[in-house]
């Protein structure tokens, strides 16, 4: 993996994001790219940083912590936790990540709030929503979403910045689009409730295989792994 490959992959992704953003009446600058670095070694992450990527997503605490430590000299780097977080690793996550996108229960949110209180640290989170209630997937069930958001709104140590979802595992583009539309509708519902003010502004959806659909449907944060780090981009 060399820097040129990453740069070319990224340019193609940015072009596709620009086109998808235009379809939803937005500019590509409104869409944040998270480079997902699970299974990507530190040396390659460093090259991605040199290409200009700044926010990196990791799925597992054990894998992430040594990489985060090794890349401390990259001053503008920011890390997001995007994988399922066990409650006994919440403290490590809070110490190492700027944002935890994968909060999937009120219990975990409360635990993070308690850690925030004890460590005098403010923690930013997204609520992961299991939009299509797939049994194998983590995330809060849509039916519980608003009540969980209301309770989180009352916790001063954490800020709910928005919602996250993983698109359904299918090649049916209609089903994928439907899931993304649904997440955006939940986002708008919570936004309009006025529970959170302007800092409730992130819709994290879209990965290598479906980010254009996600951006067309309102995503402003895509999480891309293979598309950036694979030798050849998909398609």
What is the distance between the alpha carbons of residues 190 and 185, in angstroms, rounded to a whole number? 9
Select from 20, 40, 82, 203 the one that contacts ligand PLP (CB under 6 A). 82
Please state, in angstroms and rounded to a whole number, the distance separating the CA atoms of residues 219 and 106: 24
Could you give the CA distance from residue 57 to residue 78 in angstroms, rounded to a whole number? 9
- Binding residues for ligand PLP, rule CB under 6 A, total 14
Burial (CB count within 10 angstroms: exposed 0-12, middle 13-18, buried 19+), residue 91: middle
- What is the DSSP secondary structure assignment for residue 194, as one 8-state letter? T
Using the rule CB under 6 A, give the single segment among 108-116, 147-155, 174-182, 221-229 that binds ligand PLP.
Answer: 221-229
Any idea of the CA torsion for 163, 164, 170, 173, to the nearest 10 degrees? 60
Does the protein bind ligand PLP through residue 10 (CB under 6 A)? no
Binding characters for ligand PLP, 92-111, by CB under 6 A (x = yes):
--------------------
- 127 forms beta bridges with 103, 163
Asked if 126 interacts with ligand PLP (CB under 6 A), we say: no
Site for ligand PLP contains 165 (CB under 6 A): no
Please pick, from the candidates 44, 64, 77, 83, the single residue that binds ligand PLP as defined by CB under 6 A.
83
Interface with ligand PLP includes 116 (CB under 6 A)?
Answer: no
Min separation Cβ 73 and ligand PLP, Å: 25
Distance from C-alpha of 107 to C-alpha of 129, rounded to nearest angstrom: 15
Kindly state the smallest distance separating residue 22's Cβ from ligand PLP, in Å: 22
Structure tokens at 232: 């050849």
Among 5, 37, 132, 208, binds ligand PLP (CB under 6 A): 208
Q: For binding to ligand PLP (CB under 6 A), which residues are involved?
A: 36, 38, 59, 82-83, 166, 207-209, 223-227
């Amino acid at each position: 993996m060399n820097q040129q490959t990453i740069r070319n992959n990224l340019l193609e992704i940015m072009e596709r994001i620009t086109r998808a953003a235009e379809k939803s009446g937005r500019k590509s600058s409104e869409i944040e790219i998270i480079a997902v670095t699970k299974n990507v070694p530190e040396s390659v992450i460093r090259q991605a940083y040199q290409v200009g990527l700044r926010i990196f997503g990791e799925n597992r605490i054990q894998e992430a912590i040594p990489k985060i430590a090794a890349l401390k000299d990259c001053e503008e780097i920011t890390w997001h936790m995007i994988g399922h977080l066990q409650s006994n690793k919440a403290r490590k996550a809070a110490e190492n990540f700027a944002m935890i996108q994968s909060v999937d229960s009120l219990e975990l949110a409360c635990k993070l709030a308690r850690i925030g209180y004890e460590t005098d640290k403010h923690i930013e989170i997204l609520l992961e929503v299991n939009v299509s209630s797939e049994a194998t997937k983590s995330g809060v069930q849509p039916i519980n979403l608003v009540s969980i958001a209301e309770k989180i709104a009352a916790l001063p140590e954490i800020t709910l910045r928005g919602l996250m979802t993983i698109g359904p595992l299918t090649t049916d583009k209609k089903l994928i689009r439907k899931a993304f539309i649904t997440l955006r509708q939940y986002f708008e519902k919570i936004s309009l409730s006025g529970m959170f003010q302007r800092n409730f502004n992130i819709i994290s959806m879209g990965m290598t295989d479906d980010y254009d659909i996600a951006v067309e449907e309102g995503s402003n944060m895509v999480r891309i792994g293979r598309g950036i780090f694979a030798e050849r981009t998909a398609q």
